[in-house]
Amino acid sequence: MLVTLAACALAQDPRQIVQEAQRRAYAKSQRYEGNLKVIGASERVTEKRWQYDRIGSFGDSKTVLRFIDPPEVKGVALLVINYKNRASDQWMWTPALQRERRIALQDRSTRFFGTDFSFEDLEEREAEHFDFRLLGEEKLDGHDCWKLESRPRPTRTSQYTRSHLWIRKDVHAYVRVDAFQKDTLFRRILYRDLQELEGIWTARQIEVFDAKRNSRTVLKLDKVDYNIAVKEEDFTLQALRRGL
């Protein structure tokens, strides 16, 4: 009983809620194929497909996103190297130019290759760089959730002034993020079709809504694998150049 009460008390600490969600999502590596549908304001749909590879623990990981479809963008790739103590490094490789381009911090608010993800959305955000506040509890899609507010600390550059996070109480998984610029909703991310895969609660569908453009991107995750054998050397600039 005492243990349960202590756990409940700890769970009310918003930082610990976020850290627990990050801990439960831990995997040594991850791979999936993402099918993206970008639905513009005119309801016109553009489809893309990428392969996602990731290695390392949350906030200290490396990620490679490589477009595999449509043919026009096949081979375009993004390398993200996350650091615990500073903003990530990001490089984009364009095969037609045979050159990589470092994505500057001030450019991270721009959209990533025609999707509604910004470059900033593709990096991992260590809880230490944010202040959290518990706003309350809400029911989303029939599940009890904590509703938190996060604000980037002064050491952290972000396009978002603050964000509201909804985390499911039963499995400590994100279900929704509303990101604001001052008091205006800028981007909404919905995590849907949560499934437990290899012990990790995984959203098989992520929907990003860009409120300014009235555009949304639906990312469906296929062929999801955790803790597969990948090598550090596949997450370098050289590796970025190697792939088609």
Instruction: Tell me which residues in 10-69 interact with other proteins (CB under 8 A).
Output: 38, 40, 44, 46-47, 69
CB of 40 to other proteins, least distance (A): 5
Element (H, E) at 20: helix 14-24
The contact pattern for other proteins, residues 66-105, with x = CB under 8 A and - = no contact, is ---xxxx-xx----------xx-x-----x-xxx--x-xx
Q: Name the phi and psi angles at 17, rounded to 5.
A: -60, -45
Closest by CA to 11, choosing from 168, 165, 199, is: 168
Biggest CA pair distance of the chain: 63
How would you class 7 by CB atoms within 10 Å of its CB: exposed for 0-12, middle for 13-18, buried for 19 or more?
A: exposed
CB of 186 to other proteins, least distance (A): 12
Closest by CA to 76, choosing from 64, 66, 89, is: 66
How far is the C-alpha of 165 from the C-alpha of 136, rounded, in Å? 11
Q: Which is nearer to other proteins, 40 or 152 (CB)?
A: 40
How far is the C-alpha of 79 from the C-alpha of 237, rounded, in Å? 7
Instruction: Tell me which residues in 212-241 interact with other proteins (CB under 8 A).
Output: 233, 236-239
Q: Which is nearer to other proteins, 30 or 88 (CB)?
A: 88
CB of 51 to other proteins, least distance (A): 11
Residue 197 near other proteins by CB under 8 A: no
CB of 103 to other proteins, least distance (A): 9
By CB under 8 A, name the binding residues for other proteins. 38, 40, 44, 46-47, 69-72, 74-75, 86-87, 89, 95, 97-99, 102, 104-107, 110-111, 114-115, 233, 236-239, 242-244
